[in-house]
Amino acid sequence: MWDLKKNNKIKSKKGFTLVEVIIVLVILVILAAILIPSYVSYVDKTKVAQCKVQRGDLSQKFLAMYHYDDEIRKCTSEDEVIAITGQDVAQYMLDNEYYESSIICPVHGQPYEFRFTYKNNRPKGEFLCGCVSETDDFSVFEAISKRIAAAYTGWDRSDVIRSVHEEYGGLPEVSGDVLSGTAFEGKAMYWRPYYLGNRTSVVFYGVDISYEDSLQGLWRGKVLSIDGRVYVNTSGNYSIAGFYNYNNVSELLNSSSFRSNFTEKQD
Ligand SMILES: [Zn+2]
């Protein structure tokens, strides 16, 4: 009797019971469920930041190449630049030693979209990437809106567009899902912010004009994102300049001019 008890004690000290093993496994599964997604989003954020650095570097070195190269220096349009460099401008820069780092987005592993503008004798080469907003995550817009509203009490509209551009390393791209089934299907569009009259409400408008043009005051929208809902222009009159007459989003949505120009996109 005494021996048996002693034996049992020794046995239980040597190993784990099935229940203990299960508890440990359950804890590990819970920890993994918590830690792995936050690690993945950390890695994503790092890569998006890396993409932004690369594109900024490409843009600067493009300008250096532009001023250095006798032929490219004559270009005042994107077509003229591409006639010399070929479609893949970043690849041309790499091949000709104007740039020496990666020319693909670390998030998607895809090359960048090149855009050249020439305004007031100032050339600019941009390397665009959709990696900043391919998730269709409208909480991103809400977060930007709140930050903008908090930071810019007396802001200029161009400042707002610029701040989003700088903070996200580009303007967030309108996803294909949003554009599918609309007249704008297949187009590359980017979201610009636009504030309403009280300067605390922000709507985003998607349009396919260049970043520079949107700073010049071409306040037009083909699709709109308002509080997570998407509205598509149906009228052909794309101007959204009058939106500043409305003090908040519900005023805008209730206005007849809004209704006649835009309809909510149904999935
Ligand atoms: Zn990217």
* Separation of CA 132 and ligand 1 centre (Å): 7
Q: How far is the CA of 138 from the centre of ligand 1 (A)?
A: 18
Give the mean model confidence (pLDDT) for residues 114-126.
86
Instruction: Record the tokens describing residue 70, joined without a space.
Output: 């006798």
Q: What is the pLDDT of residue 63?
A: 95
pLDDT number for residue 141: 66
Report pLDDT digits (tens) over 127-152: 887 665 544 455 666 677 677 767 76
Ligand 1 mean position, distance from CA 67 (Å): 26
Q: How far is ligand 1, taken at its centre, from the CA of residue 78, in Å?
A: 21
Give the pLDDT confidence score for residue 168 in this predicted structure: 67
Alpha-carbon gap, residue 238 to 262, rounded angstroms? 9
220: CA distance to ligand 1 center in Å? 26
Taking the domains of the chain in order of start, what are their residue ranges? 42-132, 138-264
Dist. CA 76–CA 122, nearest whole Å: 9
Tokens, residue 245: 């007459």
- Rounded Cα distance, 183 and 204, in Å: 18
- The rounded Å distance from CA 52 to ligand 1 centre is 7
Spell out the long-range contacts of 17-20 with Cβ–Cβ below 8 A and sequence spacing 24 or more.
Answer: none
If you measure from the C-alpha of residue 188 to the centroid of ligand 1, how many angstroms do you get, rounded to a whole number? 15
pLDDT tens-digit readout, 47-91: 777 887 898 899 999 999 999 999 999 999 999 999 999 999 999
Kindly report the average pLDDT of the chain as a whole number: 81
CA distances from 51 to 107, 112, 169 (A): 7, 10, 8
Q: How far is the CA of 101 from the centre of ligand 1 (A)?
A: 14
Q: Three-state secondary structure along the chain?
A: CHHHHHHHHHHHHHCCCHHHHHHHHHHHHHHHHHHHHHHHHHHHHHHHHHHHHHHHHHHHHHHHHHHHCCCHHHCCCHHHHHHHHCCCHHHHHHHCCCCCCCCECCCCCCECEEEEEEECCEEEEEEECHHHCCCCCHHHHHHHHHHHHHHCCCCCHHHHHHHHHHHHCCCCECCHHHHCCCCCCCCCCEEEEEECCCCCCEEEEEECCCHHHHHCCCCECCEEEECCEEEEECCCCCECHHHHHCCCHHHHHHCHHHHHHEEECCC
Domain 138-264 CATH class label: alpha beta
The reported pTM is 0.52
